[in-house]
A and B are shown apart, each in its own frame.
Chain A
Amino acid sequence: MAHFALEGVHILDFAWVGVGPITSKYLADNGADVIRIESLARPDVLRIGPPWKDAKPGINSSQFFASFNTSKKGITLDLSKPKARELARRLVPWADIVVESFTPKVMRNWELDYEHLCELRRDLIMLSTCMQGQTGPNALYPGFGQLMAALSGFYYISGYSEDEPAPPYGAYSDFIAPRFSTSVLLAALDYRRRTGKGQYVDMSQYEAALHNLAPAIVDYFASGRVLGPRGNASVRYAPHGAYRCADDGEHERWIAIAVATDGQWRAMLQVLGSATRDSRFDTALKRVENRAALDELVGSLVRGHNSQELTKSLQAAGVAAYPVENCMDLHHDENLDAFGFWRWLEHKEMGHAVYEGLQHRMSRTPGDLRFAAPTLGQHNDEVFSQMLGLSAAEIDQLIKDSVIF
């Protein structure tokens, strides 16, 4: 039987959308028991987000939701009703950690905030994660990751110039913050083991994301310099960028190349069969200074090549290169395959589907996607009758009263 790192750890998860659920997914995929409470008053918008099984929308057919909620159990409560909140509170003594990610007023209004919940369990660890933190003038800022990625500076440093912004795809900061929140929860669990003390964690996704911009922030405060967009230009590597290769039918093919040293530059020219002795490119400094001409030369040398084959020959010659992969390529990537990245799970309604696996591997207590995400209310019976000891008649009444839905 597999032994997971967090066996025996219990999480009560009120979170929705990105950062909160991804945080509890880290814990769930490593063996923690996670019960997700989905509230009719605040339905998780990802449940209706694409992609969908067979490209048909449905509350239980979103892979967007399924991907962030593996290895968790799910129950449904309409938390706007006092009776539902009472049931949620009855689960708190079971929980080592409570996670929530609403705008700050929501849990307070429901009296499900830390002050109330730690009366039910003194050593509770609770994470509240929202856009801009629990305090401050913009605490109630409503938003989602696309906006946060702009607010926290990542959009501005993405583009060819100030007039040509080209932001990262999706809710970029939603994939920064969870690694910070998960780290701090795991450390807080250890602190509790040592001292018996739980605590409250207020994480602003904005503040966490700014750690991925730290050098530019320190620079600005020290010198006033504002880091701007600059395409693929680098002062450390030249050539440095994506270069168009031979297309594969209708599929555009590009290769990323980064050359740091003169030796790598000569090795690259040799692989590409170029005898150029252009003096504009004979030192690393000159290659950086003559970047535009350099990119033109490299572009012309690379254009007829197959990106996969060229990657192999450049890497064999000691030059950093890799195909610029599209989202289909990722599913056929030999390195991701060798790592065993893609995982197949059987979802109650979506059936057999492929998911992103973990990004790390542990030798002794490896985590895994243990089972597929819950359909809406999939574990209601298990939790309400087995854990809370409600009778079938009581549960029926709660359903009739729309407390459980």
Chain B
Amino acid sequence: MASELLKGFRMLDLADEKGALCGKMFADMGADVIKVEPPVGCSTRTIPPFLDDVPGPERSFYALAYHAGKRSVTANLDSADGRALLADLAATADFLVESHEVGYLDSIGLGYDELSRGNPRLIYTSIMPFGDKGPGRDYKWADIISWAAGGMMFLMGEEGKPPIQMSLPQAGLHAGAEASVASLLAHYPRQVDGRGQRVIVNMQACIVWTLMNEQAMPILHGDYLRRSGRFTGRADLRRTAVYRCKDGHISSLLGGGPVGAPSTKALVQWMIEKGFAADWMKTKEWASWVPGMFMELSDEDRFQIKDFEDRVQKFFLTMTKREIYEETLKRRILLAPVATVADIAADPQLKAREFFVDINYDTLGRTLRLPGAFAKLSETPIGPGSRAPRVGEHNRDVYCGLLGMSAGRLEELRARRAI
């Protein structure tokens, strides 16, 4: 069942991997999201890996996950007929999201100026790697380019080794979610005065925003951070952020002060019980222990930080991720396992909240399990309600049902490869 939250609003989704998540979020919230694809299918359908490792337009996990709940039509924008179809569709739409090369849709008569003439209500959102003005406007893009340009890549990796990205590239996901926010920001005044607008999402800026407090450091403190593997902090004080355990890793940042002290006290208590605590740890006043950055540290401070971290490391090596996490939940210790998707799939918390949902992919003769609602709403529950569409699966529904095209004309367009 589609959500009531955005029921009755239509989005045309022309975004590739730079913004597929935008239409997915709208579909989860109940909007009628129509993917407009080239006849060969959207490029996201070619992203590996594939179901059973067999490539095919209905088998990419990326497309299966991020197109759930959308409908699909085909329109060949290289043909005048295909372009006319998109213009006709845009006249019925509330939102359009796209991520073509900057200026491409304008060049074929499908830019904001043209489409808004026929539909002044339209909110037309373009996702761009570097915005519409800078020298990078026409740059070639891959996700790693945004990761590098946005500053996150420089901060990931070991000293002496190349900076890295994640195994599942993230920039297009941030940009897609930002396109959702920006489109809905424009929606609010449009529902009052009936006027849409043009929205641009800047992917580079989306990644800069993920840097938390770090972008301001060089301006205020005079230096920029270097990558340091599983450690964190600056050269004057490297702190362990990730510890090894029996079967993987644990994320924890030992601290004191008002936030960290109760947790650290609980961890030390546990270490005392198991015989891993040093004598100095047993009497330490954790509330006033704040071994942060940019602070004067005595030799004793430095010894204690290192000794504590070394002992925690030895302690964690005696247990598995799950054993550590379960105990720390009981003791309210600030810590998390470095979870794999297998750990996540088995997490009792997600089970209790019935987070994952099974969606019938009759196209594949399979049921697939997807992440469910990104929030729980009391009045209008949201979440994926149906599978991802086949390429052009809804041509007839949309072109005949919505635009009133005759069956004969549909066949004609098909024969002319316009759809």
Query: Which of A138, A176, A214, A322 has most B Cβ within 10 Å?
Result: A322
Considering only residues 373-418 of chain B, those with a C-beta below 8 Å from chain A are 373-380, 382
On whether the beta carbons of B204 and A336 are closer than 8 Å, the reply is yes
Apart from A50-B292, A315-B136, list 20 A-B contacts with CB within 8 A: A5-B185, A30-B185, A45-B259, A50-B213, A63-B213, A63-B216, A141-B349, A164-B229, A165-B230, A183-B180, A215-B61, A216-B61, A242-B164, A256-B147, A258-B144, A326-B151, A326-B218, A359-B201, A362-B199, A365-B189
Determine how close the nearest CB of chain B comes to the CB of A214; give it in whole angstroms. Answer: 4
On whether the beta carbons of B177 and A179 are closer than 8 Å, the reply is yes
Complex: A58 Cα to B205 Cα, angstroms: 29
For B374, what are the chain A residues with a Cβ–Cβ distance below 8 Å?
180, 184, 203, 207-208, 211
Interface set of B (CB-CB < 8 Å, partner A):
4-6, 21, 24-25, 29, 47-49, 51-52, 61-62, 64-66, 112, 130-131, 133-136, 138-142, 144-145, 147-158, 161-168, 170, 173-174, 177-182, 184-189, 191, 195, 197-202, 204-206, 208-222, 224-227, 229-230, 241-242, 248-253, 258-259, 263, 292-294, 329, 332, 334-345, 348-350, 352-353, 355-356, 366, 368-380, 382
For B148, what are the chain A residues with a Cβ–Cβ distance below 8 Å?
242, 254-256, 322-325
On whether the beta carbons of A50 and B65 are closer than 8 Å, the reply is no
Complex: A204 Cα to B373 Cα, angstroms: 10
Determine how close the nearest CB of chain A comes to the CB of B327; give it in whole angstroms. Answer: 13
Contact of A214 among B227, B370, B380 (CB under 8 A): B370
Complex: A189 Cα to B355 Cα, angstroms: 24
On whether the beta carbons of A218 and B199 are closer than 8 Å, the reply is no
Complex: A305 Cα to B372 Cα, angstroms: 47
On whether the beta carbons of A190 and B164 are closer than 8 Å, the reply is no
On whether the beta carbons of A237 and B142 are closer than 8 Å, the reply is yes
On whether the beta carbons of B212 and A174 are closer than 8 Å, the reply is yes
Chain A 310-329, CB-CB to B under 8 Å as 1, else 0, gives 00100100111111111111
Query: Which of A134, A154, A229 has most B Cβ within 10 Å?
Result: A154
On whether the beta carbons of B142 and A218 are closer than 8 Å, the reply is no
On whether the beta carbons of A339 and B133 are closer than 8 Å, the reply is yes
Determine how close the nearest CB of chain A comes to the CB of B335; give it in whole angstroms. Answer: 7
Which of chain A's residues has its CB closest to B173's CB? A212
Binds B, one of A77-85, A105-113, A192-200, A269-277: A192-200
On whether the beta carbons of B349 and A320 are closer than 8 Å, the reply is no
Determine how close the nearest CB of chain A comes to the CB of B324; give it in whole angstroms. Answer: 12
For A326, what are the chain B residues with a Cβ–Cβ distance below 8 Å?
151, 154, 218, 224-226
Determine how close the nearest CB of chain A comes to the CB of B216; give it in whole angstroms. Answer: 5
Determine how close the nearest CB of chain B comes to the CB of A22; give it in whole angstroms. Answer: 9
Which bucket holds chain A's interface residue count?
35 or more
Q: Does A301 contact B (CB under 8 A)?
A: no
For A341, what are the chain B residues with a Cβ–Cβ distance below 8 Å?
202, 205, 208
Binds B, one of A142-150, A278-286, A370-378, A380-388: A142-150
On whether the beta carbons of B164 and A232 are closer than 8 Å, the reply is yes
For B173, what are the chain A residues with a Cβ–Cβ distance below 8 Å?
176, 211-212
Q: Does A6 contact B (CB under 8 A)?
A: yes
Say whether, besides A147-B251, A179-B181, A242 and B163 are in contact (CB < 8 Å). Answer: yes
On whether the beta carbons of B342 and A260 are closer than 8 Å, the reply is no
Q: Does A306 contact B (CB under 8 A)?
A: no
On whether the beta carbons of B352 and A176 are closer than 8 Å, the reply is no
